[in-house]
Amino acid sequence: MRPAVDSDPARIIRRILRVNDAGERGGVAMYQTQLAVARWRCPEVVPFLELTRDHEADHARRFRALMPSRGAKACRLPWIWTIGAAAMGAATAVFGARAIYLCTEVVERGVHQHLSVQLAFVRDHDPELAALIESVAADEAEHYQHAVRLRGDRRAPLSGLFDAAITASTEVLMWLSTRGDVARLARRLETEGAR
């Protein structure tokens, strides 16, 4: 039996913070691993990866700073994010700059979708969190746009496979690390947005 979709705004906000904290930790691990590989594989990508890693670390710090006052706790299984994101980062980085940019594009596209849904909800319930999500979304949009500009031909061999694998991996990591909270949260926020 599926858990009921939650209707308590404070609980939803705690879940948003938990998911975002875990996602930013994953982003740090992914970019850090890509950075380690890129130093020898494609050094021209290093400045971009350093910037994105630093943004993700700042986002994680800022989400964590809001957690105590809202009674939010960290993700139950943070090591899943770290290991999974690092593995995805390494797997893409060994293929070079285009694969790194494609990975960034796909991950940030998913992040943008999640943040947009969250923002639609928190605007009415937590202005401070809404401002943070807007700020984070702006950084993530920059990462996405930079990656799209530099990734090269989307029809290149394996692009579709990489896209599907990265999308699926990201969704599975979210589900596993939050024990389904992400799926329930998305349903809840979609239901709230439809009203």
Domains of the chain and any CATH numbers = 9-194 (1.20.1260)
Do 163 and 101 touch, CB atoms closer than 8 A?
no
DSSP string, 39-67: HHH-GGGHHHHHHHHHHHHHHHHHHHHHT
Q: CA-CA distances (angstroms) from residue 127 to 43, 100, 119, 124, 140?
A: 40, 34, 10, 7, 20
State residue 95's pLDDT score: 92
Q: How far does Cα 86 stand from its chain's mean position?
A: 13
pLDDT at 76: 75
Instruction: Give the whole-angstrom CA distance, residue 16 versus residue 186.
Output: 10
pLDDT tens over the chain, length 195 residues:
344 445 688 988 998 998 899 889 999 999 999 999 999 999 999 999 999 999 999 999 999 999 999 999 988 777 888 898 999 999 999 999 999 999 999 999 989 988 988 898 899 999 999 999 999 999 999 999 999 998 776 666 677 888 888 888 877 776 765 566 666 666 766 676 555
Q: Looking up tokens 């990866």, which residue turns up? A: 49
